Amino acid sequence: MELKTVKLDFPEGCNVILGQSHFIKTVEDLYEIMAEGAPGVKFGIAFCEASGHRLIRSDGNDEEMLEVARKNAEAIGAGHTFIIVMRDAYPINFLNAVKMCSEVCTIHCATANPLEVIIAETEQGRGILGVIDGQTPLGNEDEEGVRWRKDLLRKLGYKR
């Protein structure tokens, strides 16, 4: 077995959801979840098929996001994994619906941070072992940090 890391590449201001599912129907069901989840979201979805034709299946409503999703899915190259790349919305708007999607087995992450995927490769293929999402903490939150966090959540409309 060989271990690799794959650095994902997506434009500034985008968020991604990376997960694993089990069926070709994933792309269509995730498309519906994204289209219904937040007005104005631009997104692309790519899904790595693990059997049969073993193609990267994709769909979306924005050509740039679709191309970014395809490129990252190809770089990961692990069977039955999917990536959703979005702009003008946050993963929090979709995560519960994505988790409830009947084909979805695992969500590895939902982030706008720099992202590396840890891959194991064998003779059979590739699998995701985990992710490195962003960077390590620099310290503990103080009172000013608490105020900043609470203000941000209210500014974004997630708290009153």
What structural domains and CATH numbers belong to the chain? 2-155 (3.40.1520.10)
The pLDDT score that the predictor gives to residue 83 is: 98
Q: Is the pLDDT of residue 35 over 90?
A: yes
State the Cα–Cα distance between residues 48 and 50, nearest whole angstrom: 6
Alpha helices by DSSP H, listed for 10-156, are 26-37, 63-76, 95-100, 143-155
The pLDDT score that the predictor gives to residue 150 is: 94
Cα–Cα distance list, 148 to 15, 94, 159 (Å): 21, 25, 13
* HSE of 2, CA atoms in CB hemisphere, 13 A: 9
Helix (H, G, I), strand (E, B) or coil at 94: coil
The pLDDT score that the predictor gives to residue 157 is: 86
The pLDDT score that the predictor gives to residue 95 is: 96
User: Residue 128, class by beta-carbon neighbours within 10 Å (0-12 exposed, 13-18 middle, 19+ buried)?
Assistant: buried
Residues 70-98, mean pLDDT to the nearest whole number: 96
Q: Is the pLDDT of residue 89 over 90?
A: yes
Residues 28-45, mean pLDDT to the nearest whole number: 95
The pLDDT score that the predictor gives to residue 81 is: 97
Cα–Cα distance list, 160 to 1, 144, 148 (Å): 50, 19, 14
Structure tokens at 151: 């203000």
Q: Is the pLDDT of residue 23 over 90?
A: no
Q: Is the pTM of this model over 0.95?
A: no
The dihedral of CA 63, 71, 25, 42: what is its sign?
A: negative
Q: Is the pLDDT of residue 39 over 90?
A: no
The pLDDT score that the predictor gives to residue 152 is: 92
The pLDDT score that the predictor gives to residue 2 is: 97
Residues 6+ apart with CB under 8 A from 21: 47, 80, 81, 82, 101, 103, 104, 105
- pLDDT per residue over 42-63, tens digit each? 999 999 999 999 999 999 999 9
Cα–Cα distance list, 119 to 56, 57, 152, 159 (Å): 17, 20, 34, 37
Q: Which stretches of the chain are assigned E, i.e. beta strand?
A: 2-7, 15-21, 42-48, 56-60, 81-87, 104-111, 115-121, 126-133
- Residue entry with tokens 């070709």: 24
